[in-house]
Structure 1
């Protein structure tokens, strides 16, 4: 059976080969009318047209695939980001391949090797801790990439992230304005800059309002033992004479673990302890009180990441662009003001 060509589609649709190429490669713009687009797609469907991707790759020296490496695909933050990037990639004619590093350096490096072997046109990366040397290798290999959600201080690369310091400062001030004076931050034990910025925003807000800050003001949690570490810390804190009156969790996974632990201990939220967290998750709906959280503009982050990567693929000499977008506070019941 003769393979259907782009010329066959053009003849059936009654349009030019160039128009068919634009439509089937998702490169439509204002020059291509909706009627033409519909005609081409209808003709392609009726002829059961399938593009010759091998020939296309040989001609363009591109595979029209991109790789996305997230820290944890099970985290709603990253799964939603992945969906947004996939939709945006499709609009530009790319197929998205997704990998999850699980914050593991070895897995992170193996994913990059895999994507490199697959000859992806570029990468969108949430880098893991201590991956600077490996990222320098990627730069030397001239693989286009952009960072998402986080960055590495010593790696010069384009990326998009939120205003971690400012929004953390604002969240802490929100708790202070509600009469909370003994606030404890629950954070990962990490050197990743975007997370240390959240801690710095918290501590600076305490200093601004002359509130006490000591070693007990920040709970450091190992990402591989979240429940155990939070349970141990809360046992210590709640048995202290100077109990916290607010907890600020720097991720949704930490928040869900902490809220479950507080419920098990029958701690009243927000009467006894107010709670605010980074990022939203459907798991918050399981709690009787609506959770206060920091909302990241996921659609903007995902779209901008794809836009920046596409620019790098089209023009490898494009200047480095570090884009910071604003997150916002979503105030629920868990951070209600302290009652007298």
Structure 2
């Protein structure tokens, strides 16, 4: 059995309060000497003391734990985002509890309830937007939370997103400047507001360049079976617009699946098309080294989300804050 605060206090002839304050890193603020702080901590380590985090959270009213809900834990973008958030959480002495909603609104709702029952101090979430039940629950309970990557523009809540419309406009405009005139859009999850913004950026760039808008060039892929659906959709695209000369992918996994299609159909994509993608993945560096990218600032997004959440946790009068960061165009 691990030693308790009472055991340590008796062994060192100190009060339980003194030991408790020192082991919760309040020794200096309470005025204890460095010698006493060192003596308590070294003895606690020697007897393998482990704090009762549940009891501590009940007594202090805080657990120093943040919940994080992302749609797809296996997605490279979200894996990088988890890492960025965890680094900032750890820097602030918080533990991160990561969950995946798998893009399911009901599962998202259940995960929010579970995290609340675990007494997390706040939640960072990339919402499915299929259901708002979970977000409504958080707002009703006044539990601090921050939306990241995705958001509801009409809700007065914390969020950290990128300027989806402008960065897509810049990327498509760059492809047009390179000479492309028939640029196909491959997109998915159009129920998400951020995807609508990416489509808007594409359309605006095409219109501002004076190019003819063709419905056939806008390809909407079913997210639930995108690996097979994209094949059928691209077959139709090349049949309707055989002289297509460019592609804009609204997300990285569509770019990868399109390249798989090109390879299987023996299409010389590297010399035939100018291509651009919203964000990148490592494989694109190898498969399409000339592809233009609008790169999401993942580290900044994660850092901002944690900082806003912690400020919200520590301030009952906190006013919700929205942060929009800029992507980096990598031509």
TM-score scaled by structure 1?
A: 0.85
Match of 1:22 in 2: 25
RMSD of the TM alignment (CA)?
3.0
- 1:259-274 matches, cutoff 5 A: 259-274=259-274
Is 1:3 paired with 2:3? yes
After superposition, what is the alpha-carbon deviation per residue over 1:7-50, rounded to whole angstroms, capped at 9, x for unaligned?
A: 959969xxx865653289xxx99x9xx99999886655334221
What are the ranges of 5 or more consecutive residues in structure 2 without an aligned counterpart?
none
The range that moved more, 94-103 or 262-271, is 262-271
1:338 counterpart residue number: none
Q: Which whole-Å CA distance do the structure 1 matches of 2:247 and 2:168 have between them?
A: 13
Provide the C-alpha distance between the structure 2 equivalents of 1:98 and 1:246, rounded to a whole number of angstroms: 38
Residue 68 of structure 1 corresponds to which residue in structure 2? 68
Match of 1:205 in 2: 205
Distance 1:266 1:40, change over 3 A: farther
2:223 is the counterpart of 1:223: yes
1-structure distance, mates of 2:287, 2:41? 48
Question: Contact conserved, 1:221 with 1:230, CA < 8 A, in 2?
Answer: yes
2:320 match: secondary structure? coil
Which deviates more, 176-185 or 259-268?
259-268
Question: Cα distance 1:79–1:6, how it changes in 2: closer, same or farther (>3 A)?
Answer: farther
Matched ranges for 1:97-116 at <5 A: 97-116=97-116
Aligned residue pairs: how many?
323
| SS of aligned partner of 1:224 | helix
Provide, for residues 178-218 of structure 1, a one-character-per-residue CA deviation record: whole Å limited to 9, x for no partner.
00000011111422111110100110011101011121121
Q: Distance in 1 between matches of 2:61 and 2:295?
A: 40
| Cα distance change on mapping 1:62 and 1:330 into 2, 3 Å | same
Are the equivalent residues in 1 in contact too, given 2:183–2:247 (CA < 8 A)?
yes
Q: Measure, in 2, the Cα distance between the counterparts of 1:61 and 1:268.
A: 61
1:242 CA displacement? 4.3
Cα deviation for residue 229 of structure 1 reads 1.9
Matched, 1:258 2:241: no
C-alpha contact (below 8 Å) 1:144/1:316 kept by paired residues: no
- SS class of match (1:67): strand
Measured at CA, do residues 167 and 3 of structure 1 come closer, stay the same or move farther in structure 2, by a change above 3 Å?
same
Secondary structure, aligned partner of 1:225: helix
User: Could you tell me how far apart the structure 2 residues matched to 1:6 and 1:327 are?
Assistant: 54
Shift of 1:291: 3.5
CA distance in 2, matches of 1:303, 1:221: 32
* Structure 1 residue 171 displacement after superposition: 0.3
Q: Aligned residue for 1:137?
A: 137
- After superposition, residues 1-340 of structure 1 pair within 5 angstroms as 3-5=3-5, 8=8, 20-22=23-25, 44-287=44-287, 289-331=289-331
SS in 1 for 2:224: coil
Q: Aligned with 2:116: secondary structure?
A: helix
What's the offset of the Cα at 1:323? 0.3
SS of residue matched to 1:66: strand
Deviation for aligned residue 1:92:
2.2
Question: Please, what TM-score do these two structures have when normalized by structure 2?
Answer: 0.88
Q: Which residue of 2 aligns with 1:335?
A: none
- Hey, what's the Cα distance between the residues in 2 that align with 1:2 and 1:207? 69
**Separation in structure 2 between the aligned mates of residue 253 and residue 280 of structure 1, nearest angstrom:** 9
8 A contact 2:89–2:96 mirrored in 1: yes
Asked if structure 1 preserves the Cα contact closer than 8 Å seen for 2:274 and 2:291, the reply is no
